[in-house]
Amino acid sequence: MSRPVSYNLVQKPLEKDISVAPLPDGHQGEGFFATSLDSVIGLARKNSIWPLPFATSCCGIEFMATMGSHYDLARFGSERVGFSPRQCDLLMVMGTIAKKMGPVVRQVYLQMAEPRWVIAVGACASSGGIFDTYSVLQGIDQVVPVDVYVPGCPPRPEAIIDGVLRIQDLVGKESLRRRNSEHYKALLNSYGIQ
Amino acid sequence: MSEQHIKLPEGSIEKTTTTLNLGPTHPATHGVMQNILELDGERIVSADQTIGYIHRAFEKLAERRPLAQITTLTDRLNYCSAPLNNMGWHMTCEKLLGVQTPKRVDYLRVIMMELARIADHLICNSIMGVDAGAYTGFLYVMQYRELIYEIYEEVCGARLTTNMGRIGGFERNFTDKAFQKLEKFLEEYPRALKEFENMFQRNRIFMDRTMGVGGISAERALNYGFTGPNLRAAGVDYDVRVQSPYSSYQDFDFIIPVGSTGDCYDRWLVREQEMWQSLSILGQAYQKIQSFKGAEAEVYHADAPAYYLPEKKDVYTKMEALIYHFKIIMGETEIPAGEVYHSIEAGNGELGFYLISDGGRSPYRLHFRRPCFIYYQAYEELVKGSMLSDAIMTMSSLNLIAGEMDA
Amino acid sequence: MALTNDTIQQRLQEKFGESVFAFRDSHCMLEFAAPKELNLKVLNFLYDDAALQFQFLTDLTGVHYPSNKGGELAVVYHLHSLKENARLRFKIFVPIEQPEVYTATGLFSAANWMERETYDFFGILFVGHPNLKRILNVDEMDYFPLRKEFPLEDQTRIDKDDEMFGRGGTIK
Q: Residue B339: is it exposed, middle or buried by C-beta count within 10 angstroms (0-12/13-18/19+)? A: buried
Residue closest to B352 by CA, chosen among B361, B339, B340, B343: B343
Q: How far is B195 from chain A (nearest CA, A)?
A: 10
- Average model confidence (pLDDT) for chain C? 88
- C94: containing domain: 5-141
Question: Would the CB atoms of C110 and B225 count as touching at under 8 Å?
Answer: yes
Average of per-residue pLDDT across B29-41? 86
Q: Tell whether the model's pLDDT for residue A163 goes beyond 90.
A: yes
Give the pLDDT confidence score for residue A58 in this predicted structure.
87
Q: Tell whether the model's pLDDT for residue B388 goes beyond 70.
A: yes
Q: Tell whether the model's pLDDT for residue B382 goes beyond 70.
A: yes
Average of per-residue pLDDT across B81-98? 93
Q: Which residues of B touch A98 (CB under 8 A)?
A: 52-56, 406
Q: Which residues of A touch B150 (CB under 8 A)?
A: 6-7
A136 touches chain C (CB under 8 A): yes
3-state DSSP assignment of residue A115? coil
Residue B259, amino acid: G
Best residue in C73, C78, C109 for a mutation probing chain B (most B CBs within 10 Å): C109
> What domains does chain A contain, in order, with CATH numbers?
43-169 (3.40.50.12280)
pLDDT digits over A48-103, tens only? 999 999 988 888 889 988 988 888 888 888 888 888 889 999 999 999 999 999 99
Average of per-residue pLDDT across B57-85? 91
- The count of structural domains within chain C is 1
Cβ-proximal residues to B76 (8 Å cutoff; 6+ apart), any chain: A57, A58, B56, B58, B82, B161, B403
C65 touches chain A (CB under 8 A): no
Least confident of A4-18, A152-166, B387-401: A4-18
Percent helix, percent strand, percent coil in chain A, to nearest 5: 40, 15, 50
**Cα–Cα distance for residue pair B133/B200, rounded to 1 Å:** 11
Cβ-proximal residues to C108 (8 Å cutoff; 6+ apart), any chain: B223, B225, C57
Residue closest to C75 by CA, chosen among B230, B282, B354: B354
ipTM above 0.85, yes or no: yes
A48 touches chain B (CB under 8 A): no
A159 touches chain B (CB under 8 A): no
DSSP letter assigned to residue B169 = B
Three-point CA angle B316, B319, B321, nearest 5°? 70
**Cα–Cα distance for residue pair C86/C29, rounded to 1 Å:** 8
Question: Would the CB atoms of A57 and B191 count as touching at under 8 Å?
Answer: no
Question: Would the CB atoms of B406 and C136 count as touching at under 8 Å?
Answer: yes
Q: Which residues of B touch A96 (CB under 8 A)?
A: 54, 56, 403
Give the pLDDT confidence score for residue B6 in this predicted structure.
61
What band does A3 get if pLDDT is binned at 50, 70 and 90? very low
Domain boundaries, chain B: 3-50, 58-302+334-406
What band does C171 get if pLDDT is binned at 50, 70 and 90? very low
Best residue in A96, A97, A100, A141 for a mutation probing chain C (most C CBs within 10 Å): A100
3-state DSSP assignment of residue C108? coil
Closest chain B residue to A64 measured between Cα atoms?
B142
Higher pLDDT, B280 or C139: B280
Best residue in C120, C138, C158 for a mutation probing chain A (most A CBs within 10 Å): C138
Question: Would the CB atoms of A134 and C153 count as touching at under 8 Å?
Answer: yes
Q: How far is A78 from chain B (nearest CA, A)?
A: 16
pLDDT digits over C10-63, tens only? 999 999 988 998 999 988 899 999 999 999 999 999 999 988 899 999 999 999
Best residue in C154, C162, C165, C167 for a mutation probing chain A (most A CBs within 10 Å): C154
Q: What percent of chain B has pLDDT over 70?
A: 98
Strand (E) or helix (H) holding C154:
none
What b/e readout covers B244-281, taking b as 16+ CB neighbours within 10 angstroms?
bebbbbeebebebbbbebbbbbbbbbbbbbbbbbbbeb
Cβ-proximal residues to C66 (8 Å cutoff; 6+ apart), any chain: C72, C147, C148, C149
Strands C73-81 and C86-94: antiparallel
C136 touches chain B (CB under 8 A): yes
Closest chain C residue to A139 measured between Cα atoms?
C157
Higher pLDDT, B236 or A19: B236
Q: Tell whether the model's pLDDT for residue A42 goes beyond 50.
A: yes
Q: Are B298 and B272 in contact (CB under 8 A)?
A: no
What band does B2 get if pLDDT is binned at 50, 70 and 90? very low
Residue closest to B306 by CA, chosen among B129, B167, B144, B184: B167
Give the pLDDT confidence score for residue B30 in this predicted structure.
78
What band does C161 get if pLDDT is binned at 50, 70 and 90? low
Give the pLDDT confidence score for residue B200 in this predicted structure.
92
Long-range contacts for A69-72 (Cβ within 8 Å, ≥24 apart)? A69/B139, A69/B140, A69/B142, A69/B143, A70/A5, A70/A6, A70/A157, A70/B142, A70/B143, A70/B146, A71/A157, A71/A158, A71/A161
C162 touches chain A (CB under 8 A): no
Give the pLDDT confidence score for residue A1 in this predicted structure.
42
Q: Are A82 and A50 in contact (CB under 8 A)?
A: yes
pLDDT digits over B327-378, tens only? 888 888 889 999 999 999 999 999 999 999 998 889 999 999 999 999 899 9
Furthest-apart CA atoms within chain C: distance in Å = 62
Average of per-residue pLDDT across B211-222? 92
Touching partners of B (3+ C-beta pairs < 8 Å): A, C
Give the pLDDT confidence score for residue C107 in this predicted structure.
92
What band does B11 get if pLDDT is binned at 50, 70 and 90? confident
Q: Tell whether the model's pLDDT for residue B14 goes beyond 50.
A: yes
Q: Which residues of A touch B396 (CB under 8 A)?
A: none
Question: Would the CB atoms of C145 and A134 count as touching at under 8 Å?
Answer: yes
Give the pLDDT confidence score for residue B316 in this predicted structure.
94
A138 touches chain C (CB under 8 A): yes
**Cα–Cα distance for residue pair B83/B346, rounded to 1 Å:** 10
CATH number at residue C37: 3.30.460.80
Q: Tell whether the model's pLDDT for residue B102 goes beyond 90.
A: yes
What Cα–Cα distance (Å) separates residue B116 from each residue in A180, B20, B255?
A: 50, 36, 18
- The answer as to whether C148 is a domain residue is no
Residue closest to B270 by CA, chosen among B124, B400, B140: B124
The DSSP bridge partners found for residue B349 are B346
Give the pLDDT confidence score for residue C3 in this predicted structure.
82
Q: Tell whether the model's pLDDT for residue B405 goes beyond 60.
A: yes
Question: Would the CB atoms of A104 and B161 count as touching at under 8 Å?
Answer: no
**Cα–Cα distance for residue pair C61/C74, rounded to 1 Å:** 8
Give the pLDDT confidence score for residue C154 in this predicted structure.
78
Question: Would the CB atoms of B367 and C59 count as touching at under 8 Å?
Answer: yes
What band does B403 get if pLDDT is binned at 50, 70 and 90? confident
Q: Tell whether the model's pLDDT for residue A187 goes beyond 70.
A: yes
Give the pLDDT confidence score for residue B351 in this predicted structure.
94
Best residue in B54, B227, B340, B374 for a mutation probing chain C (most C CBs within 10 Å): B374
Give the pLDDT confidence score for residue A8 in this predicted structure.
52
C59 touches chain B (CB under 8 A): yes
Touching partners of A (3+ C-beta pairs < 8 Å): B, C
Question: Would the CB atoms of B223 and C137 count as touching at under 8 Å?
Answer: no
Question: Would the CB atoms of B54 and A56 count as touching at under 8 Å?
Answer: yes
C149 touches chain A (CB under 8 A): no
Give the pLDDT confidence score for residue A4 in this predicted structure.
46
Give the pLDDT confidence score for residue B4 in this predicted structure.
56
DSSP letter assigned to residue A136 = B
* CATH of region B58-302+334-406, choose from 1.10.645.10, 1.10.10.410, 2.60.120.10, 3.30.1300.10: 1.10.645.10
Q: Tell whether the model's pLDDT for residue A2 goes beyond 70.
A: no
What band does B31 get if pLDDT is binned at 50, 70 and 90? confident
Average of per-residue pLDDT across B264-275? 94
